[in-house]
Chain A
């Protein structure tokens, strides 16, 4: 029992720190990557290659004056960014980060908890995430903030449907389990899910861009129309939490996409490689190597997110709604039907 508690505590803290650390350095990498795409150098003054920039940014955020508007609803105003941050971190709980680790003759999962409804948990928590934006925007008592919050919620509703249907197709083709561990382990041998779900991946990817409020779907915070969108009235570290949580969301959705469609910590010829090195099942080397591979995939997805952000202009609101309801929803339904037919002939499902 005490072993279980220690193991859970260690892995919770590790995943929490991982999410925060990656998000912090994603802010730096975003600025660097944007600079490289625009023939600039990016931040390079704080430490070597600007590596201390996230600390400097955080320090700046803490030092800034904290303003809570008189007309705002004070408790909700504070609750908004907190909720957004909490839900952003909560999603990391069900993601398996590597192969189980053998320790004193027992296998420990590199996952906070392997719940059998992992996918539904993810969708649920992600939907709660928009409450942070809504509450924050509403409590600000500001027209721009409210418009941003309304946009965020309507965007979330529109794209969650297509996302959910794309996930149903994925679950059908990956064997019917809702546990993330099962989905990723299912890609251990054979091919990754992307091979059977290319269209599903495309839909999921577009929806993930919309769900994380990243460009070209960053309408809730578009500064050209809405000043700052839902965080117009926020300052100091509360604004920092909103911005930071967006990067955590980006990290988690990259992890989910890499896990669902590209095998997570699995990679082609993994077992041959492990045998060639003579690494035993559950050894530290395998876990670390798998984690490294997973991380490279996540990093590539984060780069893709940034690449898109610094290429595409923002959608107009009606284009956003048209894309969500008239294109992605029918497309995801078509993908679902196609998946059922294909899987019937592959023999994975029976009627």
Chain B
């Protein structure tokens, strides 16, 4: 008698002699593993070899110095405002007489901190910066033992005078084109005489 048609016949297949011997199956498996001897390992020996990264890769930040070795950042806070993760904090300082070789303009960042655990490396700070002071580089954030050590201050962010970091790959043709727009030459020093000559 059959009440439903959901009956399933359970397979009670008896192993054949070849299957009971195991040896053919073992040989098959051994050939599969042996074939991997001749395959290329996808591993990259990390510190010596590095995986190729895109020219616009967004890694650790750098605070750039200008051609004279003075800090470009004027502590305007645009980056902190733009930052979606609220990773950037800074305090401003006023340039004293005799510090012209240290800071490009009268106002500078006395402290400048990025919390690398908050940062999402979106690059909006770089985009917001009117002074071409902050850039994302191809470097990686170091490994630390303490959470506090991930708050990078100026000591880690400002590039060294003798170890300049090349950020030209970050300046894509689009960025260079953008800079050509009159009035957006934010790279120039402030000059009151030019104040009304912009076109925008």
Seen from chain A, the residues whose Cβ lies within 8 Å of a Cβ on chain B are 35-41, 44, 307-308, 310-312
Contacts and interface: CB of A to CB of B under 8 A. Distances in A.
B41 A39 contact: yes
A312 B26 contact: yes
Interface stretch (B30-38, B68-76, B153-161, B171-179): B30-38
A208 to B, nearest CB: 16
A310 to B, nearest CB: 6
Q: Is the interface of A mostly helix, strand, loop or mixed?
A: loop
A200 to B, nearest CB: 16
B34 A307 contact: yes
Interface of B: 26, 29-30, 32-34, 36-37, 39-43, 45
B36 A36 contact: yes
Contacts of A35: 41
Contacts of B45: 41, 44
Contacts of B43: 39-41
Nearest to B23: A202
Contacts of A311: 26, 29-30, 32-33
Contact of B36 (A37, A44, A308, A312): A37
Contact of B39 (A39, A44, A308): A39
10 contacts: A36-B37, A37-B33, A39-B39, A39-B40, A39-B42, A39-B43, A40-B43, A307-B30, A311-B29, A311-B32
Contacts, number: 33
B116 to A, nearest CB: 27
Contacts of B30: 307-308, 311
B177 to A, nearest CB: 45
Contacts of B34: 37, 307
B29 A312 contact: yes
Nearest to B37: A36
A37 B29 contact: no
Contacts of A39: 36, 39-43
Contacts of B39: 39
A288 B40 CA distance: 36
The 10 closest A-B pairs by CB, nearest first: A311-B33, A41-B43, A37-B33, A311-B29, A39-B41, A311-B30, A37-B36, A36-B37, A39-B39, A41-B41
Contacts of A37: 33-34, 36-37
A180 to B, nearest CB: 29
B13 to A, nearest CB: 18
A123 to B, nearest CB: 26
A38 B36 contact: yes
B33 A310 contact: yes
A37 B41 CA distance: 10
Nearest to B30: A311
A57 to B, nearest CB: 21
Contacts of B42: 39
A92 B36 CA distance: 34
A310 B33 CA distance: 8
Nearest to B34: A307
Nearest to A36: B37
A25 to B, nearest CB: 19
Given A37-B33, A37-B36, 20 more contacts: A35-B41, A37-B34, A37-B37, A38-B36, A39-B36, A39-B39, A39-B41, A39-B42, A40-B41, A40-B43, A41-B41, A41-B43, A41-B45, A307-B34, A308-B30, A311-B26, A311-B29, A311-B32, A312-B26, A312-B29
A49 to B, nearest CB: 12
A40 B40 CA distance: 9
A41 B45 CA distance: 9
Contacts of B36: 36-39
A308 B33 CA distance: 9
B25 to A, nearest CB: 10
